[in-house]
Structure 1
Amino acid sequence: MTFFLKALGLADSVPGFPFTPVANDPGRTVYTSPQMCWTVRPGTQNDDAQVRVSIFTCSISTSATAGGGSGNRELIEQLAQNTMRRAKSLMIPGFLKCHGAAVYSDTVYIATEPCVSLRDVLETPELRRRYYGQTNEEYAASVAYGLDTVGGALAALQSNRLVHGNVHCGSIFVSAVSGFWRLFGLEFISAIDDVASGNPGCLFESARRAGMIVGYRCPPELGSSSCGDVRRGDSVVAVDAWGVACLVYEAMGVTAEEAANGRLNSLVHSLGAAELRNVCRQSLPKSLHESCRNLTSPNPRMRKSIAAFSESCEFVKSSTFVRYMKALSELLLMDLSQQVRLVESLVGPVEKFPLRACLCFVLQRLGELVRAAAKAGGSSGATGVSIGPVVEPVLKIAERTAAGEEFDKYVTPVLVQLYQSNDVLLRYKLLVGAEVYGAKVSPAVLNNAIWPLYVKGFAYSAPSVREYSARALVHLAPHMSEGILGDQVPRALGQLQRDADGTLRANATIALNLISEHITPLSQRAIVMLTYCRPMLRDAFEPSRVAALRSLHGALECLSPKQLAESVLPAISSLTVDPTSAESRTAALSLLKASLARLEAHHKQLPAQQVATAAGGPVAANGSAVGSLTSFPAPAAAPAGAASKGSGLLGGISIPSASTAAGAAPQHVDAASTPVLSGAPSPLRSTPVVTVASLAGSGGSGWSDDDDEGEAGENVGESKTNASSGNLLFSKASSPPTSTSRTLMASFSAGTKPASAAASSVASSSASPLSATCGAHGPASSFQGPASSPVSQPLLTLSNTSRVSSRTGINSRLVGGIGGAAHLSFSGGTNGAFASAPSGPMKLRKKGGLGAARLD
């Protein structure tokens, strides 16, 4: 390594030069003037490897040998040292920034910002496309801004009574980061007074005499040995005006194909100063004709100054890109209203700007604006002006940038800054445009940096922000981690499902359905869909119910037959008769048919022995075997007028129903009004307390309120007490009931309720449009066991301790056998029918800040 560095002109350690070149990179050789040879290599700072630099090295002995003899060694050494001195001292915008310089062992070292020679960019199609885009418009905009930058640097130099004297494409370098032009080639810089007075120590004059200004780059006044016109004071600056004309021709007059074929090198020897004016008129755009004609006048006193060129050149003045680059450079000096107007007007033009400039300059300025607004006091500060329009140009640039290193380096940090802002309009626009950047942000940044900020959008007071927080998840979910997608995302959407706005609740359910396909494993997806879609079946808002039905339909593939039978079918059956929505009924019937088809297919796939075991019937609570459902005795004929027969879910089974002569069922039943069956011929078991909670419809989403936690706990305690008290006993009467005894018959047909005032089931009162039919907010009565006994067999006796509790805001919970039972079987020992208490619908409660659902 030591030999390699010494061969390149770099020792292991250069005193006063804390920079090291990148290993195994020979660099590129550039000529800023015919005999000034520099080798440019990438390097880093010794103290901080993150600081990237370009290291210029000039071996004086090597350059003198290449120049044609030892006679030029002293001049080359003076020019190299002049370059080092000027690079360190000239802090003018538009010049190549110098980080450090030193002279050691016959070699000059200069460390500058990372750069590439403009000549290399023009001659290399790949570099040309990288920095200046694919289209001619982007390239012309880049050249216009480059000419404006170089013109401003030369004007500032001349204001300090200095002349550059070496302006051409070889002395211009391109920033490796932004692609902007930077002026270098400082070896000829001299004081205007020294040039005008003919001072023998003037380096510009020495270089001219040494023949270092050749071809069309040498203005006519320098062709004569006397140079009398140059020594007339004000005409000295005309040399730089001629150099700008040469630069314009090299950048715009030579096509990309010609530059790639080496025409820039051949022009130096084939094109003379007298011909430059004509070729400019023939090859340059019309917007440059007038300016170049003023710059290439043979008389130096007739040439326009550099400052006049920058102000009057139509090619530069008419460039939208130049105007916006200048305005963005002064962005933080404007007041907030001016900043917002500038950003709003940037949305359209930014699509035609060179992408490199957008990434490295425009985005950085917009990010600085967001940080400044955050420090000023949040979203809109005291002026009430939102910085939301800053999002649109960012999204335009993000749309043009491919996913990868450049997107992660330039676009992603700005997106994180935008999510950190509390500006409501900014967050809204950022969520609306999530499709643009959702697939390009790296998963690590999305999960660790953006998601903790993103989830705050569900708590915004603006409904539009809450809504699009759910919608944007559709584009971000495929790139989220399994832990966030399976837990935190559903909890956030569950919070939105409790929103007062029905539209937001429906959209939250739809969003959950769309992202559920990315939740793994399938068992977790099934839990999520059941936990967060079932409650919405009781929502008073019709689109919310329909969204829940269709979401469950889309998740059938991940639901097990047990989940379909125990969780889905009981919850959707009541929606098949939804009196308020035909779309809800259609969706419910479609889901019901698909679920039954799944269950039928599952039944056919079961082995024969499992079918036989299932046909043997369930096991009773006391551990004794229970008879098969197919072994029911044939139903006896009911007395005329006593009861009407209804068809059950199972074919061939008749289900008794109460007479419909009586009025509607009472909305509340207590112990005082409940009849007691007296004179029963056979002893009855103690009847458990029957508790029915109803949902008084307030148009909610089915989520219980926080203030109901205490009473809900009491209901849970009652449920546990009832469950431990044993199964309900349906006593088989030896004779038909007498006129003095009143009984409550158990009805098991779907949707059938006793209508008699004396023996009626409990009906929950609700203001919801579906409360009368157990809709969105009421309990879904489902058929879970056949009741084929005649009228004289199973009768339900309610004791005086039976009661019905009704509370608003709590999901209906059925803890008796009223309106349906989980299983019905006949025990051989007691001839009684046992109905176990159903598990009931899902109980939803708030937990924490996002709300969680659990099965009680």
Structure 2
Amino acid sequence: MDFLKSAVASAIAKSSSFPFTIGDRVDLDASIWTLSNATKKDDNSPCSVFTFDIAAQRSYLPLAKNAARKLRTLRHPGVIKVLDVIENETHIYIATEKVTPLSWHTKRKSLSEETIRWGLYTVASTLKFINNEGSSVHGNVRVGSVYTSDSGEWKLAGFEVLSSMNEDDAIIYNYGSLVPDSNRYAPPEIAAGGWSAVKKNPLYAPDSFGLGTLVYEAFNGSFTGTDRLAQPGSIPSNMVAPYKRLVNNNPKPRLSAGHFVEQGKKTGGFFETPLIHITEGADSLGLKNEQERDQFLNELDGLTDDFPEDFFKIKILPELLKSVEFGGGGPKVFGAILKIGTKMPDDEWEAKLLPLVLRLFASPDRAMRVCLLDNLTAMIDRIPQKDVNGKMFPMMVTGFTDTAPVVREQTVKAVLTVISKLSDRTINGELLRYLAKTANDEQPGIRTNTTICLGKIARNLGTSSRTKVLIAAFTRSLRDPFVHARNAALMAFTATSDVFSEEDCATKVLPAICLSLIDKEKFVRDTANKAFDTYTARVKKYAESLPDTATPAATADGARPSTPARIGNQNDASGWAGWAISSFTNKISTAKGEMNNAPAIAANGTALTQTTSLPTSGRATPTVTAGPERPATIRLASTTTSQRTSVERPSEPAREDDAMDAWGEFDDDGDNFFDAPAANKAATPAAAPFDDGGEPDFAGWLAAQNKPKAKNPLPKGLNKPTNGTSLASRPAGTRSASSGAPAAKKVVPVVQKKPAVAPVPVKKVDLEPKDEGNDDDWGAWD
């Protein structure tokens, strides 16, 4: 039969007209109701349903009907919230907010002392309202009549015998004894004379005694009978005296619920707790002035972690959200919001707090922006990456260019927090552009923090721009007048030593660090020495892995693949001087300016024309055109010092700055440094190579490189004769001396003739100077 009744009730609950879906049943203490978890069909929100089976408990029907009627009409924050009441011929359903029996927590002793005080304050305040404003008696105050909501608040129910004392036929007089387990909780005067004794004693007396039993059971976990009430047990010491007055056997001096609240609210009273203050002030937070709001937030900060989390999420958080967004709550309120949000699951945090955070980043309030940046560490893991890149970061970058230095500095620091959520394109594009601005900020602290930031995000930068950006930023910071900026650059170099190649370490980083080895500040020098040792050790280790030489190995027949340019005697230990002289003479054409000397004349009067200034190989073996042999020996006429005044020379010595700048003109690979300029090539036909036996042919070189100019005539003795003979072989009387300038020279192209017989080698030019005392003689190069 019971199974049939249960099936009928289930069928009714599952019908389309029933607005709730009943789920699992919840265990209760002795009660006329069955409690079940349920959901509303219209919005799927959770709720609870109290079910009364009329057929099974018809004797308790007046109690069930009274409870349903009182819950419909009585509205108070401390009373369980009723959503709907449904009555039919078989059942009475009372749908309420989602609740849990308080006995679940008291039996497990899972409630903290502060939470129990807060709950007792709520129940006592509700009883005060029922007794004083409602002129009614609850008559069933116990642990079984109290429930906890989703917010953790204690809610009073058990209105089976709630009666107004203004009624002559109040239900409590006739049905009070029908309440389950009433004998165990009944006050002494009720146990002795029945519920009619209520008329002879103060109205509040039964409820005050019931409140005392609730205090005892909440702190001690169980209640077996009124004889145990004399021992307070775990009740706090400052609450023991009022508690004893609640459970006084004599109803006359018994303390009412209202007086119990008043004693607890006195200075230093047992109801003077931050949690109770917050509960009272949360509803009017938006109406508080700045001083009252600050006091409220200070109390909120003083809460410990053992307070009910759900209460803050459901009751306090909505009020805080409204205050910070519409009531001018400011950074302090937002800090309290984040503290509550730390215990929220990710999906709930994203639904309730993320929209607010994104809106606040667009706020022009600098204090709010700084608060957001300071607390970004606690939020960043909850913000999806797409929202960081698409919504938050575009608003966050405005802080890089803000006029307030504190905003710029906090924005730079916040980069370390958001870097893990930024895309590579954002990091290597927009972020680096803004960091380049803060690296040159007028505030030294911002420049220093930018250097530190770059050092910490070095591995997040793209490989193509990492080395260039970091070396440029750190090197610039090494020259910063702010001492901590220089020290930060050295520390950043040390921390990022592994991101640079060995070549960059040797050619770019070490030279930059060396400057700091003689810094004026000792702690900077110490940091520089550590950085220098780090990079030196890495370069040395890399150098040990290099081969002994880069010269190609000899082939099987003993010949090398290619013949390197001759640079003197490399096998001689003292050959460094020979290398220097040989290299310089081979590259003499790279010297600045021109040497305008007359070309060498062959014995038959034909000019020996050099086709190229120097070969690209770097050897001092010029190519000349050979004419018929002439027995006369050709010598360059020696000139006096006064005769050489027409040779081009610099007008003034080069400055030291220009010499330093010249280092920047050299190619990195050195391939072009030792090559002769192509502008000096002669436009003559190719000639057979001339073997000088390893000695430079200065006469042929002078003949090809130096051509007379109208404005800068050559000195006497080097002018080309008009009749095709050398100056040395012409008589002195035939030389032109009319104006001191050489006669107009007719350029006669030299045509290479194919000899009928074997070619006669041209004899070497005698370079022996005529004047032994001349300082500028070519003999210095022998």
TM-score range, shorter chain: 0.5 to 0.7
Counterpart pick for 1:237 among 194, 199, 204: 204
Aligned to 1:332: 286
Decide whether the 8 Å contact of 1:145 with 1:321 is kept in 2.
Answer: yes
Structure 1 residues 521 and 160, CA, compared in 2 at 3 Å: closer, same or farther? Answer: same
Aligned to 1:68: none
- 1:83 equivalent to 2:67? Answer yes
Between 286-295 and 487-496, the greater mean CA deviation after superposition: 487-496
Decide whether the 8 Å contact of 1:39 with 1:58 is kept in 2.
Answer: no
Using the TM superposition, give the Cα deviation of residue 14 of structure 1 relative to its aligned residue in structure 2, in angstroms.
Answer: 4.9
Equivalent residues in 2 for 1:133-282 (5 A)? Answer: 139-158=112-131, 159-176=133-150, 178-194=151-167, 197=168, 199=169, 202-210=170-178, 212=180, 214-224=182-192, 227-232=195-200, 235-254=202-221, 263-264=222-223, 267=224, 271-272=225-226, 275=227, 277-279=229-231, 281=232
- 1:27 equivalent to 2:52? Answer no
The runs of 5 or more residues in structure 2 that have no matched partner are: 555-560, 571-575, 585-590, 600-617, 623-635, 681-782
Aligned to 1:822: 668
Equivalent residues in 2 for 1:755-834 (5 A)? Answer: 758-760=653-655, 762=657, 818=664, 820-825=666-671, 830=676
Decide whether the 8 Å contact of 2:52 with 2:91 is kept in 1.
Answer: yes
Using the TM superposition, give the Cα deviation of residue 325 of structure 1 relative to its aligned residue in structure 2, in angstroms.
Answer: 2.6
Q: In structure 1, what is the Cα distance between the partners aligned to 2:333 and 2:164?
A: 46
SS of match in other structure, 1:179: coil
Counterpart pick for 2:77 among 86, 89, 93: 93
Q: In structure 1, what is the Cα distance between the partners aligned to 2:546 and 2:671?
A: 23
Using the TM superposition, give the Cα deviation of residue 528 of structure 1 relative to its aligned residue in structure 2, in angstroms.
Answer: 5.3
Aligned to 2:248: 297
Using the TM superposition, give the Cα deviation of residue 501 of structure 1 relative to its aligned residue in structure 2, in angstroms.
Answer: 0.8
Using the TM superposition, give the Cα deviation of residue 146 of structure 1 relative to its aligned residue in structure 2, in angstroms.
Answer: 0.9
Using the TM superposition, give the Cα deviation of residue 412 of structure 1 relative to its aligned residue in structure 2, in angstroms.
Answer: 6.3
SS of match in other structure, 2:403: coil
Q: In structure 2, what is the Cα distance between the partners aligned to 1:761 and 1:525?
A: 35
Higher RCO structure, 1 or 2 (CA under 8 Å, sep 6+): 1
Q: Which amino acid aligns with 2:458?
A: S
Structure 1 residues 828 and 310, CA, compared in 2 at 3 Å: closer, same or farther? Answer: closer
Using the TM superposition, give the Cα deviation of residue 535 of structure 1 relative to its aligned residue in structure 2, in angstroms.
Answer: 4.8
- 1:547 equivalent to 2:492? Answer no
Structure 1 residues 316 and 98, CA, compared in 2 at 3 Å: closer, same or farther? Answer: farther
Provide the TM-score with structure 2 as the length reference: 0.66
Q: In structure 2, what is the Cα distance between the partners aligned to 1:578 and 1:681?
A: 52
Decide whether the 8 Å contact of 2:568 with 2:582 is kept in 1.
Answer: no
Decide whether the 8 Å contact of 2:121 with 2:271 is kept in 1.
Answer: no
Using the TM superposition, give the Cα deviation of residue 99 of structure 1 relative to its aligned residue in structure 2, in angstroms.
Answer: 2.2
Decide whether the 8 Å contact of 2:124 with 2:257 is kept in 1.
Answer: yes
- 1:370 equivalent to 2:318? Answer no
Provide the TM-score with structure 1 as the length reference: 0.61
Note the alpha carbon deviations across 1:652-676, whole angstroms, 9 max, x for none.
Answer: 989999xxxxxxxxxxxxxxxxx98
SS of match in other structure, 2:144: coil
Using the TM superposition, give the Cα deviation of residue 55 of structure 1 relative to its aligned residue in structure 2, in angstroms.
Answer: 2.8
Using the TM superposition, give the Cα deviation of residue 634 of structure 1 relative to its aligned residue in structure 2, in angstroms.
Answer: 7.1
Counterpart pick for 1:114 among 83, 92, 98: 98
Q: In structure 1, what is the Cα distance between the partners aligned to 2:563 and 2:365?
A: 68
SS of match in other structure, 1:85: helix
Structure 1 residues 587 and 320, CA, compared in 2 at 3 Å: closer, same or farther? Answer: closer
SS of match in other structure, 2:655: coil
SS of match in other structure, 1:204: helix
Q: In structure 1, what is the Cα distance between the partners aligned to 2:325 and 2:468?
A: 42
Structure 1 residues 607 and 37, CA, compared in 2 at 3 Å: closer, same or farther? Answer: farther
Counterpart pick for 2:406 among 444, 448, 464: 464
Equivalent residues in 2 for 1:423-462 (5 A)? Answer: 423-434=365-376, 450-462=392-404
**What is the percent sequence identity of the aligned residues?**
22
Decide whether the 8 Å contact of 2:79 with 2:156 is kept in 1.
Answer: yes
Q: Which amino acid aligns with 1:544?
A: A
Using the TM superposition, give the Cα deviation of residue 414 of structure 1 relative to its aligned residue in structure 2, in angstroms.
Answer: 6.9
Decide whether the 8 Å contact of 1:486 with 1:528 is kept in 2.
Answer: no
Using the TM superposition, give the Cα deviation of residue 102 of structure 1 relative to its aligned residue in structure 2, in angstroms.
Answer: 1.6
Decide whether the 8 Å contact of 1:458 with 1:466 is kept in 2.
Answer: yes
Using the TM superposition, give the Cα deviation of residue 485 of structure 1 relative to its aligned residue in structure 2, in angstroms.
Answer: 5.1
> Which structure would you say has the larger Rg?
2
Counterpart pick for 1:58 among 52, 58, 61: 52
Structure 1 residues 490 and 561, CA, compared in 2 at 3 Å: closer, same or farther? Answer: same
Note the alpha carbon deviations across 1:711-752, whole angstroms, 9 max, x for none.
Answer: xxxxxxxxxxxxxxxxxxx999999997877878xxxxxxxx
Aligned to 1:508: 450
Note the alpha carbon deviations across 1:442-488, whole angstroms, 9 max, x for none.
Answer: 76766666545544433333322322332344345456565555555
Counterpart pick for 2:238 among 287, 295, 300: 287
Q: In structure 2, what is the Cα distance between the partners aligned to 1:145 and 1:93?
A: 14
Equivalent residues in 2 for 1:347-746 (5 A)? Answer: 347-349=301-303, 353-374=307-328, 387-390=330-333, 393-394=336-337, 401=343, 419=361, 421-434=363-376, 450-478=392-420, 487-517=429-459, 519=460, 525-526=466-467, 529-530=470-471, 532-533=473-474, 535-537=476-478, 539-561=480-502, 563-564=504-505, 568=509, 572=512, 575=515, 594-595=534-535, 598=538, 601-602=541-542, 605=545, 611=550, 632-633=567-568, 677=593, 679=595
SS of match in other structure, 1:500: coil
Structure 1 residues 222 and 561, CA, compared in 2 at 3 Å: closer, same or farther? Answer: same
Q: In structure 1, what is the Cα distance between the partners aligned to 2:521 and 2:319?
A: 54
Aligned to 2:37: 41
Aligned to 2:769: none
Using the TM superposition, give the Cα deviation of residue 521 of structure 1 relative to its aligned residue in structure 2, in angstroms.
Answer: 6.6
Using the TM superposition, give the Cα deviation of residue 605 of structure 1 relative to its aligned residue in structure 2, in angstroms.
Answer: 4.9
Q: Which amino acid aligns with 2:41?
A: N
Structure 1 residues 547 and 297, CA, compared in 2 at 3 Å: closer, same or farther? Answer: closer
Decide whether the 8 Å contact of 2:286 with 2:327 is kept in 1.
Answer: no
Structure 1 residues 307 and 420, CA, compared in 2 at 3 Å: closer, same or farther? Answer: farther
Q: In structure 2, what is the Cα distance between the partners aligned to 1:539 and 1:566?
A: 21
Q: In structure 2, what is the Cα distance between the partners aligned to 1:245 and 1:828?
A: 106
Using the TM superposition, give the Cα deviation of residue 91 of structure 1 relative to its aligned residue in structure 2, in angstroms.
Answer: 2.1
Decide whether the 8 Å contact of 1:677 with 1:743 is kept in 2.
Answer: yes
Structure 1 residues 506 and 182, CA, compared in 2 at 3 Å: closer, same or farther? Answer: same
SS of match in other structure, 1:165: coil
Q: Which amino acid aligns with 1:340?
A: D
Q: Which amino acid aligns with 1:321?
A: L
Equivalent residues in 2 for 1:10-25 (5 A)? Answer: 11=12, 13-14=14-15, 17-21=18-22, 25=23
The runs of 5 or more residues in structure 1 that have no matched partner are: 65-72, 133-138, 255-262, 375-385, 616-624, 636-646, 658-674, 684-729, 745-755, 765-780, 782-813, 835-856
Using the TM superposition, give the Cα deviation of residue 170 of structure 1 relative to its aligned residue in structure 2, in angstroms.
Answer: 0.9
Aligned to 1:322: 276
Count of residue pairs brought into register by the alignment:
620
Q: In structure 1, what is the Cα distance between the partners aligned to 2:127 and 2:274?
A: 22
Decide whether the 8 Å contact of 1:55 with 1:109 is kept in 2.
Answer: yes
